[in-house]
Amino acid sequence: MYRRALEGREKAWGLEHTLTLDTVNNLGILYADQGKMAEAEAMYRRALEGKEKAWGPEHPSTLVTVDNLGILYADQGKMAEAEAMYRRALEGKEKAWWPEPLSTLVTVDNLGSLYADQGKMAEAEA
């Protein structure tokens, strides 16, 4: 269904329309859930590039995709890449919104889990 929606949105609105990019991101989530990591990363990268272009690097929708890339990298054991994505998402969310909303706290939790998985207990606790 996502592929069908993506084809329709690309045809109707173009490759870089924000609604098209939302579907690209959703397809990335599906691929990640299916364990298709290369396909998921390709979708997230495409969505991220388009969202950065359309909305900028600190827009909430852009940061959701940054978070998704962080989760994907953590699932693959790419800890440095995951940390970079989580830190970028966290900094952007704290700057764009405020430090307490749910989405920001999800990123804080993701970063804490990443640190715990690496044995960086002081960072995880903070």
Tell me if 92 sits within 8 A of 86, measured CB to CB. no
CATH number where 40 lies: 1.25.40.10
What is the rounded distance in angstroms from the CA atom of residue 35 to the CA atom of residue 98? 33
Count CA atoms closer than 13 A to 42's CA, side-chain side.
Answer: 5
Can you give the residue range of the structural domain that contains 66? 1-125
Could you give the CA distance from residue 72 to residue 85 in angstroms, rounded to a whole number?
10
Report the C-alpha gap between 122 and 125 in whole angstroms: 5
Q: What is the pLDDT of residues 45-84, one digit of tens each?
A: 999 999 999 999 989 889 999 999 999 999 999 999 999 9
**Number of domains, the chain:** 1
pLDDT band with cut points at 50, 70 and 90 for residue 97? low
> Smallest Cα–Cα separation from 90: which of 123, 121, 49?
123
